[in-house]
Amino acid sequence: MSRIGFVSKRGWLLFIALGIIWGTPYLFIRIAVADLSPAIVVFCRVIIAALLLLPIAIHRGHAKSLKSHWKGILAFAVIEMCLPFGALAIAEKEISSSLTGLLIAAVPIVNAIISRQIGLDSSWDARRIVGLLIGIVGVGALVGFDISANNYWAIALCFIAVLGYALGPIIITKLLSDVDSIGVISWSLFVAGVIYLPLVIADIINDSWRAPGVTEISTGAVTSVIALGVLCSAIAFVLLFALIDEVGPTRTTVITYINPAVAIILGVVLLSEPLTIGIIVGFPLVLIGSVMATRKNAMAKEVMASTER
């Protein structure tokens, strides 16, 4: 049976689980950077995940991808992990996890624009263009209502993360489409850790590995870092591969529309973050715009359906 026409119970369980998991990083980052430097948080996150996934890749015989595809792996590690993870860790010292999660919801829109420009996605119609405009208005509402002049730099960092997350799948398509995903992800996480290691050493030498004024690292910060590595990186990527295998890549991308809602709920309920006008106005606009801007026309859907049968 076509995967386009039917989603199994296992597919729904994977979809829901991953949607919830990838809505939580913003909460954990916010808690972790209250006590630890951004470099420490990112380094621990990627190294924990790498140490968990690399043995799996080696056992399955997929670890050889580093030798033959090191350029693509390096590019993916820097653009999909180093820049976004670091940018978000720094930004969340200034803005709420709810707002961060919503701004990251612009990833599908940016990905659609870039894919269009480089010829990966030429199936654009009026509906997708209108969706793009709606999404931009939604992001504008978030920024306009919720951002003051002294933290625009945090928004700029969020958009660096958005760009990195949007380019990641394109790098895989262009440079890494012929190798197994778990090998690519495992080595990319490890490479990201190596890149961050000098920053961590500098933080330790300068005694800046803790947030200013912090003398004792809280249990919450330690738990959050572990959760980022184990839950939001290692387990999440394993679930992602399983979900793609179960329902195909097209439906898997819809998960992007669940994550912001989870981020908002967790931020408001657990961190007592305000439910602002910007979130109330911008949230539905960003999601509606993302759905419209990333939804292919009927002919493109039929072509995609034929490839996933």
Whether the per-residue pLDDT at 300 is higher than 60: the answer is no
Residue 189: what pLDDT?
Answer: 94
The mean pLDDT of 93-100, rounded to a whole number, is: 83
pLDDT tens column, 104-144: 877 777 877 787 777 766 666 777 778 778 877 777 776 66
Question: How do the domains of the chain map onto residue ranges?
Answer: 9-107+150-275
Q: What's the predicted TM-score (pTM) here? A: 0.80
Q: How confident is the model at residue 284 (pLDDT cuts 50, 70, 90)?
A: confident
Query: Rounded to 5 degrees, what angle do the CA atoms 199, 24, 223 make?
Result: 60
**Pairs from 6-13 (Cβ < 8 Å, separation ≥ 24):** 7/246, 7/247, 7/251, 8/246, 10/246, 11/243, 11/246, 11/247
Amino acid at residue number 200: V
Most confident of 32-41, 275-284, 298-307: 32-41
180 or 153: whose pLDDT is higher? 153
Integer CA distances (angstroms), 101 to 72, 82, 217, 218, 275, in order: 27, 18, 25, 24, 13
Task: Give 217's DSSP letter.
Answer: -
pLDDT at residue 102 is higher than 80: no
- With vertex at residue 259, the alpha carbon angle to CA 255 and CA 262, rounded to the nearest 5 degrees, is 135
Residue 59 has pLDDT above 90, yes or no: no
DSSP string covering 12-28: HHHHHHHHHHTTSHHHH
Q: What is the pLDDT of residue 184?
A: 86
With 0-12 / 13-18 / 19 or more C-beta atoms within 10 angstroms meaning exposed / middle / buried, residue 138 is: buried
Q: What whole-number percentage of the chain has pLDDT above 90?
A: 32
Q: What is the pLDDT of residue 143?
A: 63
Render pLDDT for 209-240 as a digit per residue (tens, 0 to 9). 999 889 899 999 999 999 999 999 999 878 87
Summarize the confidence of residues 73-93 as an average pLDDT: 93
- Give the integer Cα–Cα distance in Å for 191 and 264: 31
> Who has greater pLDDT, 232 or 300?
232
Report helix, strand or coil for 210: strand
8-state DSSP, 255: G
| Lowest-confidence pick of 90-104, 152-166, 220-234, 271-285 | 271-285
Percentage of the chain surpassing pLDDT 70? 83
pLDDT at residue 42 in the model = 97
pLDDT confidence bin for 306, thresholds 50/70/90: very low
Quick: pLDDT tens for 29-50.
999 999 999 999 999 999 999 9
According to the model, what pLDDT value does residue 152 have? 79
Distance CA 58, CA 101 (A): 33
| Helix residue ranges per DSSP H, the chain | 9-21, 25-32, 38-59, 65-68, 70-76, 83-91, 97-104, 107-117, 126-146, 152-175, 181-205, 219-229, 236-247, 249-252, 259-270, 277-294, 298-307
Please state the rounded mean pLDDT for residues 157-185.
84
308 pLDDT higher than 50: no
Average pLDDT over residues 5-31: 82
